[in-house]
Chains A and B, each alone.
Chain A
């Protein structure tokens, strides 16, 4: 590995890391603004023009507030919980292809931190570790509401992971690869996977909402029943980490939905006007981020539109509807592929 490569990788890692943090930070602002808009209010408007500095103020506040670690809690695990949640949230962005590749001085620089050939499995693995962050934190608090919230969160996340995995299986049958980059590259032009697998896309999106603990699946932090859910006992930056991890997860989920089903960085018709590969890469990245922001908006829109499920309804939806449907979807995909001659 040359120095040039090392520098390029370092820059890319730092960029991906800071962009995820920045987007997550401004998602908190966007959430409050969109909530205000949907409820005919103003939202944050005091810190800076249009309240644009509100996330900074929130961040500073998180750092300065007193940290309370309950005497009854398990202190080490109490600190490890939010750290794990934050850490896993940061690790997921690594396999997302943010754009095609830049050509500088005859060398190719793909805009992706690393192209793991089992990218999708990597995503699933890291996201699953995120459950530990919630479970450890909730259990270590030694608070009954935290414990209930944590158990709810973990059983909800594992339930929906199955349907999510099955909807991905149908996608992989069609693409024939587990590499996220190749899946994105295959959807060039208008060959977006959502057009071939609209139902799989719908299943995947429902599960993505549940995996990120967003409304209408935000049972783990259901304040009417559970005080604050798994982070009832948390304060200061540790609470901030839990909230922040949720927004990073939302950003990454939107990126994954956009990459797997909505063409990733591919822009239809762009080849007609732009021929320079560098401009193509930059425009592709911009277009990719537009898609991501649309899905983040969708997450918020749904949150402020739909009421929360009851817990038994949530489990029934996961196990008795989504999993059988996802199994059928895999079988149907296989049969259709056989009928259209893709499987001989």
Chain B
């Protein structure tokens, strides 16, 4: 039942996204030329490709995000059952979160959170 409606909405979404692009393909006129085909970077001719290595700062944030996101996923099932399990669960998660927080402080002190 649930999966059926999800699939229905999936089809609606794909149809709308695909249909919109197809329709504008049909309706819009096209007169391509070399100047239109260039990348627009403030009007000056662009230098080289932009598929290059970029600032490592973003990469560091992505790494820390990955660590925290995985730990966040562990907290969801815990949060659902915390009332039933009781005190033990609370103490355990506080220890877990303390370690998590220390991880954040470590990354902070190492300068990983500093924006260049």
Contacts and interface: CB of A to CB of B under 8 A. Distances in A.
A312 B113 CA distance: 10
A90 B38 CA distance: 32
A106 to B, nearest CB: 19
B38 to A, nearest CB: 7
Interface string A125-139: 000000000000001
Interface in B52-105: 54-55, 58, 61-62, 64-65, 68-69, 72, 75-76, 79-84, 86-87, 89-90, 93-94, 97, 100-101, 104
Given A72-B49, A86-B16, A90-B9, A178 B62 contact: no
Contacts of A113: 5-6, 9
A79 B24 CA distance: 12
A177 interface: yes
Contact of B5 (A94, A159, A170, A238): A94
Contact of A327 (B64, B87, B101): B101
Interface in B25-48: 25, 27-32, 34, 36-42, 46
Given A158-B62, A311-B115, A342 B83 contact: yes
Contact of A330 (B9, B28, B97): B97
B61 A172 contact: no
Interface SS, B side:
helix
Contacts of B101: 324, 327
A151 B10 CA distance: 27
Given A155-B61, A232-B40, A172 B93 contact: no
Interface in A171-193: 172-173, 176-178
Contacts of B5: 9, 12-13, 94, 113-114
B32 to A, nearest CB: 7
Contacts of A115: 2
Nearest to B34: A71
Given A166-B72, A311-B115, A94 B6 contact: yes
A6 B54 CA distance: 50
A178 B24 contact: no
A162 B72 contact: yes
Nearest to A145: B41
B61 A241 contact: no
Interface string A225-254: 001000011001110110000000000000
Contact of B72 (A114, A141, A169): A169
Interface in A44-73: 62-68, 70-73
Interface string A317-344: 0011001100100110011011000111
17 contacts: A63-B23, A64-B27, A68-B32, A70-B37, A71-B37, A87-B14, A139-B51, A144-B39, A147-B54, A148-B54, A169-B76, A176-B81, A241-B17, A319-B64, A331-B94, A334-B93, A337-B90
Interface of A: 1, 5-6, 9-10, 12-14, 16-17, 21, 62-68, 70-73, 79, 82-84, 86-87, 90-91, 93-94, 113-116, 121, 139, 141-148, 151, 155, 158-159, 161-162, 165-166, 169-170, 172-173, 176-178, 227, 232-233, 236-238, 240-241, 311-312, 315-316, 319-320, 323-324, 327, 330-331, 334-335, 337-338, 342-344
Nearest 4 interchain pairs by C-beta: A71-B37, A237-B24, A312-B115, A172-B79
Given A67-B24, A90-B17, 19 more contacts: A16-B9, A66-B28, A67-B28, A71-B37, A86-B13, A86-B17, A113-B6, A114-B6, A141-B50, A142-B51, A143-B50, A144-B41, A176-B81, A178-B80, A233-B39, A319-B104, A319-B108, A323-B68, A330-B75
